Each structure stands twice: as structure tokens, then as C-alpha cells.
Homo-oligomer: A and B are copies of this chain.
Amino acid sequence: MAAVALLLPAVRAEISLMPVPSSLQAGSGALPLTGKFTVAFDAYREKRLDDAVNRMMHRLARKTGLQFGPAMAKAAPDAALVIRCVRAGKPVQSVNEDEAYQLTVTPERATLTAQNPLGVLRGLETLIQLANINADGFAIPAVTIDDHPRFPWRGMLIDVSRHFMPLDVIRRNLDGMAAVKMNVLHWHLSDDQGFRVESKVYPKLQQDGSDGKFYTQEQIRGIIEYARERGIRVVPEFDIPGHTSAILTGYPKLATDPSDLKIGRHFGIFDDCMDPSNEAVYAWLDPFIGEMARLFPDEYFHIGGDEVNGKQWSASTRIKAFEQAHKMPTGKPGNEAIHRYFNERVLVMLKRHGKKMEGWDEILNPDLPKDIVIQSWRGQKSLAEAATNGFTGILSSGYYLDHMDKASTHYAVDPLTKQTADLTETQKKLVLGGESCMWGEYVSPENIDGRIWPRNAVIAERLWSPQSVTDPGDMYKRMERVSRELEYAGTLHRINYQVMLDRLAGSAPVGPVKVLADVVEAGSLGVRARDHKYTTDEPLNRLPDTVLPESDVARHFTTLVASAKDPAGSAQIRHWLITWRDNDARLQPIIAQSALLKGSAPASQMLAEVAKIGLEALDAIDAGKHLDQAWATRTKTRLTAAARPVSEVRIGIVAAVQALADQAH
């Protein structure tokens, strides 16, 4: 344990915000934060703002352990924080609504000014992050902040179809999103593996398509209200015409091929698909869209439209006849034409029900009206193409949380780089922002927080902060701090990790399990799909489900290797390598007693193997010797093998050990 302490560098005690504001000037001194902290409004006030202040006080109580009295000051001059909100927001939050705020903190008082309640919400989150302990107590450092988002659309997709997520999961992740100023929950509510909303018009949707796991309309309204209170829009996605196995299970008459329809249990792209040539499909869709359009007040309605493999369309003589009658090219890739036809029919319905259309890259079609939003899973090229044609778009390519990439990888992805960098300024304005995507194949209500946080915070920063804010080293320091902030906000990414480790250990000591878990990283979607035949029924309770996408320990070890030439650094490196080398012998008996750990034995052995190589290199370095070419070649081969996923996880220190080996050669 002491070793961890040695390894983690001291995070800056001064101002550390994520996302970084557009403009910040540090002042001198600080406003003390005590149990007597109170708030006053001196302009527009509404219940949403009062609730936000009460939540802030609750969060500050968790963060500080202070006991606060009632939040509202009896008289404005007594208040430590004065909130000046100019006017009410729109009844339904819109994409271009003003989120700017100004926050001035002096040793006497904090003043938060915004045109709109959204700005107040954003500013309160900044204030919470500013509040920190110092040698004298808790305080908010004197500062002048003038802040506004770079992009108006900063969202996260949560897929609740592959694995259903109970309301508390949605709520606490909305709290997490609000903490890093995200403003759109893209709720992926329907896919092959489940339809998750109560429909009163078509009750077989939930009866036959959800295994009993769905949200009632009242619960949906509750979440929309919960999100609105936090300045977050809720955009529903009902993916059509593909990804519809769950819908078609209850309504087979809509299917291109109605044989063998059932809720999907496996993952991947299914053949099941609605039949665009069947007029009954449109007759069915209109009341459905109407019902959901009334339930979800947002101006956008996401129709998916992705990954239609077209196999059933190509195989259907009925569709071929329809295509010919409508003078469409037939078969692949001509399926695009009938898909386009489908989208245009759907668009008419969306308009009738007062909605703008949103969909994935595949729906892009120059004939569509300019107010649609293209969500790009393919990359900046699609966005550039959309913008060139006058369409708005958002980026999700590069922000897929289920790919288990490092935070720095996501951080480096900018909606206005590559092809979009060449757009005119006017066209660039059509790029509204982006959304991270938490696809649900390998997440449970228990491990989803660890898949989302803290990495999602750096995507939030990319979409809020100035484009020039890009330093990954600084980002990681702030990400580690925001990870604790998120814990105070209620996400369970730290807590559930510990609970899952305890379970893996069973009745054995958890220590050796944690040593391994802390230094490996969760395998990506592809790794999971390859190594293990998962279904929606498979419990997600093993090591690859537990470990995080990015290992803090491995990252700090890598930094240590890169920066430490001094003996103290060497001793720390050695301590870690010995710990990892020796852990296997301790862990294997525990693995032998735990069916949940059984598959992880190779990862434990591989970690020991890598650590041994690291120690060979370190011995040479410390002795001032150089290892020969044969050793270097053999080592490279061994480490290349070790870099491949094992037991559905990645050993996080392989590159660092290779760097040590390079030093020793």
C-alpha cells in the first residue's frame, strides 16, 4: 500500500477543474467554506434553481463532511454565494440554449451570473469543484471565471437494450454527466436484445420484447424531469428499420422475414429488419412515433438507421418487385435506395409529430431537410460531408466507451479535426458537438459506472473546453481529481470495483486479486467477443468485467519508468516489479478456489513473466551493464506476445517494461 502512495504523484492542490473553463483568472485569497455557508438569489428564481442549490449543498456536505444548515440565506447580504440569473429557460431545453456563466470569487463572497438557469447549473458545478481543503480548512479560491461551452451538444449514449439498466443507474449517471457539464442523454431504448419502454399503443412491444425489463411511461417522465433539473436533454433512440428483433418479436407482421423472430440473446448485426415495401409498416409506425414523440419532449427524435445488412431485403422477391416498381436500384448496394425511401417516409411522420430527425451516418441523404442531425460513428469524414451539404452533425466516432480505449485516446479526438478542419467557419458551426457511447453488450448495472467514469469526463472536457486545451499529462492529473468529485456526485465507479473484487476473492484475501486487477485493463468489445461466447444471460462478474478500461497503476508505473533515473525511482520500479512477479504464486491458490477467477490464471502468469523481464532489465541498468542483442531480441518477442490480450484483459505495463528493456540494451 505504501508503494502506491510512493508511486502516485501529488496532484496539484491549486485550482483543478474538469472541464477547463474558457477563461479563468486566479485571484488572491479564498472564500472560506464552513457550515455557515449560505446562498441567495438576487434576480430570477425558480424551483429548479432552488433544488440545484440544495443539491450543491448536499454534494459539498459529502465532499467536506461539514454539516450545513438550511441553504438559503435569511438576507442576501449574509449570503456567501449570490446567484444572479437573468431569466427563465425554455420550457423544453433546446440545443442552442445559453449555458454561459460568470463566476467571481473573492475572500468575501462568490457571485454567479448567468442569463439562463442552465448557466447557473454549470456554474454551480464549477463552484463545487473549486471547493477544496487547505491547511486552514475548506475554501473556494478567489477566481474570476467567464465560461461557455465550445459545442452546444455534449452527450452520452446509454444502451439499455443489450443489458437493461435500472432507474438508479440512469439517475446517478445523469448526476455524473451534470458534474462535467454534459447536456444530452441519448437513451438507446430499443435494439435487437430488448425494447425498454412501456407502449400503451402497442403493448406487445414491452410484453414480448423486454423480458419484463422496461421503463413505465411514468418512470420515463421521471427521468426526463430528473435530467431537466440538471440541464440535460433526453433524446430517445428507437433504432429502425434494423436492430429491431425485439420490436418484431411482438409485431412479426412488420418484418421482412417473419420466420423465427425472437429477442436477441447474442450480439452483433442481425438480419431481422422491417419491410420498407410494406405499407402496413408505415401505418404501424405513425401511431408509435406519435406516442413516443409525446412521451419525450425533446425536439429531436433518433431513428437509428444503422447497420442494416440488407440480407433479408436482397432475398425478398416482394422487395425486389417494389424496388423495380419505384425505379430503385435493387439489391446491394442498391438497398441504400429503399432504406432512403424508408427514412423519407419516417421523416414525414416525425414532422407531423413535431420532431426533427436524428440518425446515424447511414441516413445521410442530400435530399433530407437541413435540420436533421447526423450522428457519426464513422468519423469526421461523414460530418464533413454532412456539413458540406448543410446538415448538422455530432461526432461519436472516437468516443466509444465500450472500446476500452485510454482516456488520452478519446481526449485526442476532436470533432473539428481531420476532414472537418477544412470546413468553412459557417460549416463548422454545423458540427454541434459529440456524444460518447456506452454500448451495452458487456456492461451490467454494477460495472457500467467503471466503464463510463472517469474517462467520460475527458470527452466532456473535449466538447466544452477551448480546442487548445489538449495536454494529456495535465488532463490525467485533473481526471484523477474529478474521479473523486464524481464519487461525491454519486457514481459508483470506485465503490463497485471494490465490491466486485471482494466477490472474485470469495472467502480468500482480496489483496492478490487486487494486485492483478489494478494493473490489467479490460479487453475491448472485440476481445470479449472473441475469447468468450457471451449472451445477454451471461453474468458479468469475472475479472474482465471488474477491471477498469485504463489502469492508473500502469500509467503511473509507465511515467515512473519514463522519468526516473534516480535511485529512488529505481527502487520504486523494483518494488512494483517484485510485487507483480511474486503475486502469481499467491493468486493461483485463490484462483483454484474461485470459478470466477478460473479463466484469469494466464493473465496472472503473464504479469509475472513481464515483471521478470522488467527485473532482468532493471538489474542490468542498476549494475550499469548492457544486455546483449540476443537478450533484446528474445525480450522483444516475449513482450510482443505479452502485449496481446490474455484472459480477456491486457497487461498494462508491457510498453513500460519494453522501455526498461530498451534502456538496458
Give Cα A560–Cα B484 distance, bound, in whole angstroms: 35
Is A148's beta carbon under 8 Å from chain B?
A: no
Residue of B nearest to A575 (CB): B2
Residue of B nearest to A512 (CB): B5
Q: Which residues on the B side are within 8 Å of A92 (C-beta)?
A: none
Of A256-264, A418-426, A491-499, the one contacting chain B is A491-499
Given contacts A507-B481, A509-B5, A509-B10, contact A446 B65 (CB under 8 A): yes
Is A583's beta carbon under 8 Å from chain B?
A: yes
Q: Point out the residue from B6, B64, B495 that lies within 8 Å of A586, measured CB to CB.
A: B6
User: In the complex the two chains form, is B539's CB within 8 Å of A66's CB?
Assistant: yes
Q: Which residues on the B side are within 8 Å of A507 (C-beta)?
A: 10-13, 16, 132-133, 481
Is A283's beta carbon under 8 Å from chain B?
A: no
Residue of B nearest to A587 (CB): B5
Q: Point out the residue from B10, B63, B503, B596 that lies within 8 Å of A503, measured CB to CB.
A: B63
Of A134-142, A350-358, A636-644, the one contacting chain B is A134-142
Is A518's beta carbon under 8 Å from chain B?
A: yes
Give Cα A188–Cα B137 distance, bound, in whole angstroms: 33
Is A514's beta carbon under 8 Å from chain B?
A: yes
Number of interface residues of A (CB under 8 A): 67
Is A365's beta carbon under 8 Å from chain B?
A: no
Given contacts A13-B506, A35-B537, A484-B502, contact A511 B135 (CB under 8 A): no
Interface string of A95-127 (1 = CB under 8 A from B): 000000000000000000000000000000000
Interface centre among A4, A446, A481, A515 (most CB of B within 10 A): A4
User: In the complex the two chains form, is A514's CB within 8 Å of B11's CB?
Assistant: no
Residue of B nearest to A211 (CB): B69
Q: Which residues on the B side are within 8 Å of A495 (C-beta)?
A: 495, 498
Give Cα A65–Cα B505 distance, bound, in whole angstroms: 13
| Chain B proximity of A347: nearest CB distance (Å) | 39
User: In the complex the two chains form, is A1's CB within 8 Å of B65's CB?
Assistant: no
Is A500's beta carbon under 8 Å from chain B?
A: yes
Is A541's beta carbon under 8 Å from chain B?
A: yes
Is A598's beta carbon under 8 Å from chain B?
A: yes
Is A3's beta carbon under 8 Å from chain B?
A: yes
Interface centre among A7, A444, A512 (most CB of B within 10 A): A512
Q: Which residues on the B side are within 8 Å of A521 (C-beta)?
A: none
Is A269's beta carbon under 8 Å from chain B?
A: no
Q: Point out the residue from B2, B509, B595 that lies within 8 Å of A579, measured CB to CB.
A: B2
Is A217's beta carbon under 8 Å from chain B?
A: no
With A65-B444, A65-B500 given, name 20 new contacts (CB 8 A). A1-B3, A1-B515, A2-B512, A5-B515, A6-B511, A10-B509, A11-B507, A12-B507, A16-B507, A64-B503, A64-B541, A65-B596, A67-B539, A133-B503, A133-B595, A134-B506, A135-B593, A135-B595, A481-B507, A494-B498
Can you list 29 pairs linking A and B with CB atoms under 8 Å apart?
A1-B4, A1-B518, A2-B511, A2-B583, A5-B509, A5-B583, A6-B511, A9-B509, A10-B589, A11-B508, A13-B593, A16-B507, A35-B539, A65-B541, A65-B596, A67-B444, A67-B539, A133-B503, A133-B506, A133-B507, A134-B506, A135-B593, A135-B594, A135-B595, A137-B595, A481-B507, A484-B502, A495-B498, A498-B498
